[in-house]
Each structure stands twice: as C-alpha cells, then as structure tokens.
Amino acid sequence: MSKLDLDPGVVAACRQAATRIAEQVAEQIAGRTTLSVERSVTRLLGVDGANALEVPLPNVLVDHVHERGGLGRGIAYWLGNAMIQTTSSPQQLAEAVSAGELDLLALQEAEEPAIHERVTSECAARLREIAQRFDERRAMRERLGDGAAPLRYVLTATGDVYEDVVHARAVAEGGGDIVAVIRSTAQSLLDYVPYGPTTEGYGGTFATQANFRIMREAMDEWSEQHGRYVRLSSFCSGLCMSEIAAMGAWEGFDNMVNDALYGILYRDINIVRGLIDQRISRMINGYFGVVINTGEDNYLRTADAIEAAPSVTASQFINHQLALDSGVPDSQIGLGDAFEIDVPVKNGLLYEWAQAQLTRELFPDCPVKYMPPTRHMDGNLFRTHAADTLFNLVTIATGQGIQTIGVPTEGIFTPHIHDRVLGLQNVGYVFNAAHDLGEEIEFKRGGIIQTRAQQVLAGAHELLERIAQTGLFGAIEDATFGDVSRKQDEGRGIEGIVSTEPGYFNPFVELMREASYA
C-alpha cells in the first residue's frame, strides 16, 4: 500500500506516456550507428592495444573502414569477411591493418550468409567467454557475501590508478560496498579510450581497460582477504559509452553510471549520438547483469531542487523505459535521485523525504542511487556533515538501493581518505540508529509529505504528456531538464554518426536481443 496515497491511474498514465516517448526515440535513432558502437564491436571481439602513435587499435580498425566508405555495413561485416579470407583473428586483423599490411575493403567478398555465420560464431564465443567470467564473479559474490541495501557507494579521484587502489582499500576497510573511480576531467569528450595504465589525470583517473583490470584485481584480492565482496563501478557515458561498457564487461565491473543525458546536457554531446551510444551500452550492461545508474541527480545542480522535482521524476520514468527497451531489468536499473534542497528552506527535510519516498514507491524493484547534498555546500564542513546526517536519515528511512556517501570536505577540495572514512562512519551511525525507522512511520493523510509527493507526481505527469507530444528531442531543446537547452543538429560527436545500409549487421545486438545471459 502506498504511504503517499498516490493515484494509481496517474502512475499508469505516466508509464504509458514514457512508453510512447521511448518508442519515438527508437524511431528517431533507427537506421544509424556510431563510431563508438562499431568500436565496441571490435572490443567485444577482443581487440585491444594501440599503435606506435598511441591510437587504440579499435579506432584504427573502425577509422580504416569509415574512411573507405564501408562503415554503413558495420565493422562486423568486414571483420567476418576478413576472417574467412585470411583465417586471422580480429586482433591479428587489427594489427595487420595498423601496420598497413591489410586493406579490409580490398579483400574478395564471400557470400553474405557465410560472412554473417562466421562473425556471429566469433561473437557468440566471446560472449560465452565474458559470461564465464561473470559466472565466476557471481559465485565469488555468493561465497563472500554481498552488502545489504542501501549499498554504500564511495568515490575515489586521485588521477593515479595505483593511488586509487590505496584509496579503494581504505574505503573497503571503512565499510564501503561499492568503489567508483571518477574519470579524469573531460574524458567524456575524447572519441577514443586511452590505452594502458595511467598515473596522471585531473580530477580523476582515466577509464582504460588496463586501469579497470588493476582496480578489479586489487579489490578482488581485498575481498578474498577480508571475506566481504566489494563492488566496482565506473562511468559509462560520454563519446565512448558502449566501449566503456565493453571494457567493463571484460573486466567484471558490477556497476556503471550509464546515462546519455548527462553528456548531452553538460558536455554538449549531440543528442542523437548520445542516445544511440546509450542504447548499445545499456544492452551490454543489461546482458551481463551490470547495474546501471542514471543521472537525474545532476539536474538539481543546475536547476532549483524544489521547482525541478517534476522533471526529475519525469526523467526517471523515461530513463526506466529506455533501459527496459535495451534489455535491462528493474533489478539492474539504478535510477538517479538526490538530496539537494538548500538547508535553510523551511521543511526542506520533509520535501526531500517526500521525493525519496515517491521514487521508491514508483520504482519499487529498482536499486535507486541516492546522491548527497553538494550544490549548496559552502566550505563549512560542520554544516556539510549535519546536512549529510539528514541525508543519511532519509536514505535508510525510505529504503534506497545505493547511497553515494556525503563527505564533510566535499565543498572545499577533493576529499582525502580520512574524510571519506568520516563520511562512512556517519552513515554507519545513522543506519544503525534508524535501521527500521521506515517500517515504523506512516505519513499524515493530506500532510506536507503526501501533498508534496502528489504534487510532484502530477507535475511529472503533465510534463510527460507534453514530452509525448513534442518528443524527447524537443523537450531537451526547450531546456526541460536541468535548465539546459541542446539542439539535435548540433553538439560534439555529431560527425561520428553513420547511416546504416540495407546490409548492416551487428551480431552482438542480435545475440543479446535473443536472451539475457544474466
């Protein structure tokens, strides 16, 4: 039964509108692929490495075909044909192309069914190989024990992957359940993924497959030593969304921040490019059981938390449906929410409670990722710690799935290890003291919390109906989300969109559509 006394008819209407919006998005991005999607095909096929100029081999392969006008048929078509004609592996083909020894489009072409059969067989083998790794990871998680919700999600951001390992171990020692390594500033704007381990990054560490492997091995070692499984997360967004999803799959990551709108709104990535890349990246994450986190919390950093609440809820409905359409089940859809009402607002705690409870009731099977207050933190670490305590209280009382811990020094500098431990200790105090608070509470009928939640839901419904008329692209242009406007024919990465030809083929999409491994 709804504690908020929500109207089930309004909730159903919101879901129906979100379904129509998602269908429109699918129609608008159909018939196109992107450079990143095609590079993710090569990465899932096991292609890795870089040439002498440090250009990643997936880029070398895809650019090679794109420059010759063949990418409309898909990189898989040309690799499948080359595997037939040369008996080489995808990695060997990439190295030969990089060395200037092979032109994929100059090879004699086999019959299309034979090409499809050969490359599909190779793709299926790679999916089985990755799935085997996830089977081993699932067994490890069951043997060591997973954390209980709300899972405590802690960020590290040193710029040096080896220093991140030190921070991650400290986070685990302090009780963290999920370690997330923030990417270096503006990596989302790179249309390639750097190769190898990195030790220099500003505001974070570069997301590379080597760095993923280093972090995974370190946390697995800690987990075995201490008998408690610690999850890993990264940021599957920007111009290389689907590639990062592929890298995370190979290295066994458990969670991925996976949302196109963040890059569209705050990094000016082209709308169409972002949504195509998001669709494929979510298919990969959904297939292997990786929990995705969406980015609604970011809207409240550029828009007023009270006024923008309906847009957050509307976006959650849309993001939820887009994720379902990519094959991600509710149990893996970590929708975004945040505790961002300014502290001086009278009854702000009640409004925050209403929003958090609303999200939980609307998406009961989703592990909602709840974000701490950051926008209004002014450097007074005592004030921040007090606000984080209220945030922790709402988190446990409303049963959020994943909680990004608040840190006292968040408004001053990138927090040190001991600052993060203080944040974790605060969480521990509150979660223990108020463990069953949510089960004990009922809200006053027609009171502040119920009224606020119902108003937000009504506003979200009105907004969703309007978006269903104008389309998501039009809503983004109208600055519906985060008070930021973007146009569909502008933005970074637009040159990386490729129209597909009638013979276009992406075997991974076809295989992942058939059945989810997870």
Q: Is residue 497 part of a domain?
A: no
pLDDT of residue 465: 97
Ranges under pLDDT 50 in the chain: none
Give the CATH number of the domain where residue 306 resides.
Answer: 3.20.20.440
Q: Is residue 132 part of a domain?
A: no
Q: Is residue 99 part of a domain?
A: no
- Write out the residue range of the structural domain in which residue 238 sits: 146-453
pLDDT of residue 509: 94
Long-range contacts from 17-21, C-beta under 8 angstroms, 24+ separation: 17/317, 17/461, 17/464, 17/465, 17/467, 17/468, 18/317, 18/318, 18/320, 18/321, 18/464, 19/321, 20/468, 21/318, 21/321, 21/464, 21/467, 21/468, 21/471, 21/472
pLDDT of residue 518: 57
pTM for this model (two decimals): 0.95
Q: Is residue 384 part of a domain?
A: yes
Contact 234, 155 (CB under 8 A): no
Task: Give the C-alpha separation, 342 to 55, whole Å.
Answer: 46
Structure tokens, 514 = 């058939």
Q: Is residue 321 part of a domain?
A: yes
Structure tokens, 377 = 């933190």
Overall number of domains in the chain: 1
Contact 258, 241 (CB under 8 A): yes
pLDDT of residue 300: 80
Nearest to 282 by CA among 86, 473, 513: 513
Q: Is residue 157 part of a domain?
A: yes
pLDDT of residue 298: 84
Q: Is residue 402 part of a domain?
A: yes
pLDDT of residue 232: 97
pLDDT tens profile 316-344: 999 999 999 999 999 999 999 999 998 88
Kindly list the catalytic residues: 262, 297, 369
Q: Is residue 23 part of a domain?
A: no
Contact 299, 316 (CB under 8 A): no
pLDDT of residue 367: 95
* Sign for the pseudo-dihedral over CA of 228, 369, 493, 45: positive
